[in-house]
Chains A and B, each alone.
Chain A
Amino acid sequence: MERSSFVSEIPIYEIPGGIHPEEHKTRSNQTNIRRLPLANELVINLKGQAGNRSIPIVEVGEAVLKGQVIAECDGIFSAYQHAPTSGTIIAIEKRTIAHPSGLDDLCIVLKPDGDDQWCELTSSSNIEEMDREAVLAQIFEKGVVGLGGASFPSHIKLKQHEGVHTLIINAAECEPYITCDDKLLQEHAKEVLLGAEIISKLYQDINIVIGIEDNKPQAIDAIQQARKELELSNIKLGVVPTKYPSGGEKQLIQLLTGKEVPHGKLPADLGLIMHNVGTCYAIHLALTEGKPLVERLVTLTGDNCKEPGNYWIPFGTPVDHLIKATQSDTPKRLIMGGPMMGYELPHAHVGIVKATNCIIMSADGELGMDQTALPCIRCGACMDACPASLLPQQLYWHAQADEFDKAEEYDLFDCIECGACAYVCPSHIPLVQHYRYAKSTIRNNRVEKLKAEKARERYEARQERLERVKREKAERHRKAAEARKKAAEEAGKKDAKKAAVQAALARVQAKKKAQQSDESAADKNQSDDNHSEGNN
């Protein structure tokens, strides 16, 4: 593929590892951006971004206009969703969503009325006068999320502003097949740069660097042209050699700055913030025209795609509609995203989401992955390809043996799942799937551990309570018994007293009696004496 001869305006550093897969990009970047007719129904997934599910605020049967809010943020960590076109809500139900699991989740189903009529748009007349909070609020309310792939809500990423000194616009687009960022720059470089300007206004003294691979000469020319016309000389072009995965956030940072994002930290901790070109474009639309994010540029490609190219596609458009509208053959495997990091769809009736940058309608044998896995021969090709300097063969060894603690020791969670290792593996081992298995099992185990912990606490609390109740009961019984005893004793004592009293009385009486008898005796004696005296 053609390489740009443009010399990078900033020094470029190296990243370890990486691969050079066949690019397959010319297939989709030769035609202009187009539109397809609207689908019969749009299936809008409420979990269409990183974070939590959005909360639907429309009812079944309700008529909505294009751009109207249909689901809002859960208040913690999710994004607004807007109607991608005007029409009627016909269902809010579980449908298969765009996710590697192929599971169902809550979706809003919208039947377009064909008018595609916008609701009233609130655009800000003067961005210059808006303060930081207002700009962030606008970005939030217009449902803008990162369009590079992770669809992380943009306003959250933009919140931290202490010490940020460089804004990196990610235009690397290193993955094969995908050309939507390339085409967006070729046709809308100005809007992208204006979006970057809006972001840069949120920070003080910020440099803007556009990171782009040298396999996009036309996009590089378009950026230069736009930069000249807009007189934005503060924007620098960092042209990196084409190598997958140079477009990974951590990798592009390393290429452009030579720094590594420390483990467990964010790029912002290095004073860096990165946004995708698509996100810049969306932010520009949201602020200057007040347009919410309701569609995105998607690359339709693959051997079975008869009209490959880039299309503006409203969110929720089912993939089978895209297959029909491009008169494509039924794909052998349907991949959402690129061939390195995308995921397979279980069937075609799945609506596209904000993260969907590419649909590959592959033909039989096109992707070269249907091979038997053989034993690992420890050749180390994966190690040489790993951009994170991990030891993939060790990770695999421990993951397949369920030795998760060992796998974590080998920094399993620093794996970015780029797939370079599995791409080069001569034994065709699905390495990434092994890592994902290990990671998701570890995560699930942690959740279960927490649950068990809670159950243990509740059990112990209950045991303690039962114990306490028992103790208290016993205590009560004891006290009652004591009381009874006391009462009994008391009663006994009373008796004793009575007895004593009686005894005393008796004694007294006895005494009295005795006295009386004594007296009488004495009287008698006396009388006797008297008698004797008298007798003398």
Chain B
Amino acid sequence: MKSGDITVRDVTLRYGGKQPVLALDRLSLDVRPNEFAVIVGPSGCGKSSLLYLIAGLEDRTSGSISVDGAEVQGPGADRGMVFQSYTLFPWLTVAENVAYGPKRRGVNDPAAVTRYLEEVGLGGFAGHYPSQLSGGMKQRVAIARALANDPAVLLMDEPFGALDSQTRHAMQRLLLRVWDHSKKTVLFVTHDIEEAILLADRVFVMSGRPGQIRKVLTVDFARPRHEDLVLDPAFIAMKREIMGLLKQDEDA
């Protein structure tokens, strides 16, 4: 299992047009191998854009991004991504979706596909089409599909944003278990502070537009973490700190 680091140096993103928008302003961050890093920020701060830049799906205006030592030039299979919207290929079965990435590299390993599906608890759904699955199941397949490609890093753009809170908690547990097994470097974007603290080794708090990293917090609650952690005074203190950091934008 590969696991790489992410280095973002002075990245600026400016959207052109009649009214140019400075979305990201000389933003820098580092994610270590095997780390679970979470970015929180107010909506519109450019946190999703940052993820798209690292994935190579958008072009940065300036600055440098490298993953596992290699400069990012366009998208590639070394950076797996799970999107907020459902992006399973509807014409492929669940198993075929998971097998898609390896197949592009000429690898055909049905046993591995089964293993990844079982990892996300969907061993019995290999032959189903995405339209037959619930939202949570679709995102589980999306995680399995990204992992099956054995990427150096896993980028996750609010993957549980569209799910109800029950499913969301189940998905967080599942993701932590999968991460514990695979030890992939994960960069996870969310606007949910509790989700950020529950999942993260480190939380990167972003400022409002133009987006910059306002503060980096190290989360050292013992793993495995339980949802009851949200009632822990230390947890609440950290949540309050992040809320305060995000609030600065509202007051400004």
A binds B: no
Residues in A lying within 8 Å of B, measured CB to CB: none
Residues in B lying within 8 Å of A, measured CB to CB: none
